[in-house]
Amino acid sequence: MVLLGEQFPNFSAETSMGTIQLHEWLDNSWGILFSHPNDFTPVCTTELARVVQLYPEFQRLGVKVIALSCNSVESHITWIEDIKSYTKMQVSKFPYPIIADESRTIATLLGMLDPDEVDDNGIPLTARAVFIIDPLKKMRLSILYPATTGRNFDEILRVIESLQLTDRHRVATPVDWKKGEDVMVLPTIPPEEAKKIYGDKMKLINVPSGKQYLRIVAQPTDSS
């Protein structure tokens, strides 16, 4: 299994949009690889349809999206028509590829198999895994959901907003943060340096310990 900050594995795969080499396909973009247990299943259909609806947001953030399950390309292509119908959107072309991994090679490589979810032959299916990959091909986030729980892709977009912001600026995003809200000054920035950077714009929250680590500023812009 790949760990946070490690190089995400490169692999070749057959998809609903043809053969890809993952790193070549990603190019210099951010990427999301997410797996689902099985085609033609209810929760998976709602998830992939939601990603279609949110696809313009992923494009805005410069993120390429790719899905994966242990089904064939032919199965994916047939199922895509159901997904397009479920979105209730006029979608002429499905916007992202779905990887076919009948051999479980990629699922095994990435530690995505769920022993509690099996196919008709008793072979494990993929869990609901999410991987966020940055332009340097490093894995920046992973989440693993059980088959019975659908993902919240609004949260995944929120995480990408946070990762991209904190890559550009020396800040961290607090609990439940959303784009445009206040952020925290990194604790690794010494007090004097923080004052030079933010001046009166920085708000210090006093706590019983007396330690001055809760420092709040407005979300920086790329020009600030």
Residues 6+ apart with CB under 8 A from 13: 19, 20, 22, 68, 99, 100, 101, 106
Q: How far apart are CA 12 and CA 16, in angstroms?
A: 13
Contact 68, 104 (CB under 8 A): no
- Which position has the token pair 């993929």? 126
Strand partners, 68: 35, 99
Among 13, 17, 44, 147, the active-site one is 44
Q: Residue with structure tokens 């959303």?
A: 178
Residues 6+ away with beta carbon under 8 Å from 59 = none
Residues contacting residue 140 through CB under 8 Å, at least 6 positions apart: 4, 5, 132, 133, 134, 163
Would you call 120 exposed, middle or buried from its count of C-beta atoms within 10 A (0-12, 13-18, 19+)?
Answer: exposed
What is the C-alpha to C-alpha distance for residues 192 and 81, in angstroms, rounded to an integer? 59
The rounded distance, in Å, linking the Cα atoms of 68 and 112 is 10
Q: Is 44 a catalytic residue?
A: yes
Which residues are designated catalytic? 44
